């Protein structure tokens, strides 16, 4: 079975940026193949990887409400379309969930998706899920066990509080988490005492270890502006170096 890496945190804290850096890390360390799942309805992981997405799971769900091709069950159709939605790259495939469910019941479509994910999972060593603030997509994909949960915050009191609440969400969703950590992104240097006090409070009250602090990065901003892939960032960029140091420790078994 593949190991599941799930990202969580409030909007705008840099989950997608860190997801792209994790993908860079996994591919460079030959920890492949990886299935990267962009579960944010405002999907943009593909943009940080300089890849085009032509078909999303949301679009497939809508198609499932119509007539099926002759001699094909809905399960078979879902599996075929999901394979078509995969964007293939060196060492990984990318899947975009797309827009959330609209009016009407999509329970059956989610069931078909869960069954398809079960079949897909055997093809990968890791599944990396870039989530929205909630983690409902994990339930829809039938991912009830997370090997690595990374909760991301920005250097704000609200971001830290949201990270703390998300860390406590896995219980009600009946998701088992084997290992988790908090990463605080875009931290000013030097780090203020008040911010560190908030971080330490969240860590102590949730039992969620601090994975590390990441600085703001002009190199990453410039790479995004020109539409370049984060996979091609120089490993000597300060944020990349610090992110890789965090991953070295966090993903060590």
pLDDT digits (tens, 9 = 90+) for 95-130: 988 775 554 445 666 676 777 777 888 899 999 999
The predicted structure's pLDDT at residue 17: 95
The predicted structure's pLDDT at residue 61: 81
Tokens for 225, please give them. 């502006």
Tokens for 34, please give them. 């990886």
Tokens for 197, please give them. 């006090």
pLDDT score of 41 more than 80: no
* Interhelix angle 238-250/15-28, nearest 10 degrees: 70
pLDDT score of 228 more than 90: yes
86-89 long-range contacts, CB within 8 A, separation 24+: 87/46, 87/51, 87/52, 87/53, 89/49, 89/51
Q: Please, are residues 123 and 33 in contact by the beta-carbon 8 Å criterion?
A: yes
Residue with the bigger pLDDT between 177 and 225: it is 225
pLDDT score of 92 more than 70: yes
Tokens for 23, please give them. 């993908």
The predicted structure's pLDDT at residue 86: 94
Average model confidence (pLDDT) across the chain = 86
The predicted structure's pLDDT at residue 142: 60
* Model confidence band, residue 145 (pLDDT cutoffs 50, 70, 90): confident
Give the DSSP letter string of 26-37.
HHHTT---EEEE
pLDDT score of 211 more than 90: yes
Number of domains in the chain: 1
CATH number of the domain to which 232 belongs = 3.40.50.300
pTM score, whole prediction: 0.90
**Residue 176: domain span:** 3-250
* Interhelix angle 74-85/57-64, nearest 10 degrees: 160
């Amino acid at each position: 079975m593949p190991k599941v890496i799930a990202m969580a945190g409030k909007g705008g804290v840099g989950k997608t940026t860190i997801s792209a850096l994790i993908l860079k890390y996994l591919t460079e360390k030959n920890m492949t193949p990886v299935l990267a799942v962009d579960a944010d309805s405002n999907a943009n992981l593909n943009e940080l990887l300089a890849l085009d997405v032509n078909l999303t799971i949301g679009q497939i769900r809508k198609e499932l409400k119509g007539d099926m091709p002759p001699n094909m069950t809905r399960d078979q159709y879902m599996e075929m379309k999901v394979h078509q939605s995969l964007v293939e790259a060196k060492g990984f495939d990318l899947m975009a969930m797309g827009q959330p469910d609209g009016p009407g019941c999509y329970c059956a479509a989610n069931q078909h998706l869960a069954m398809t994910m079960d079949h897909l999972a055997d093809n990968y060593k890791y599944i990396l899920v870039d989530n929205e603030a909630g983690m409902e997509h994990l339930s829809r994909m039938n991912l009830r066990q997370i090997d690595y949960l990374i909760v991301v915050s920005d250097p704000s009191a609200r971001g830290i509080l949201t990270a703390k609440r998300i860390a406590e969400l896995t219980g009600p969703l009946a998701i088992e988490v084997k290992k988790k950590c908090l990463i605080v992104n875009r931290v000013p240097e030097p780090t203020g005492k008040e911010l560190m006090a908030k971080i330490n409070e969240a860590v102590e009250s949730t039992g969620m270890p601090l994975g590390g602090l990441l600085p703001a990065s002009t190199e990453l901003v410039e790479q995004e502006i020109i539409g370049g892939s984060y996979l091609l960032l120089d490993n000597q960029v300060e944020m990349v170096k610090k992110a890789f140091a965090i991953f070295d420790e966090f993903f060590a078994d």
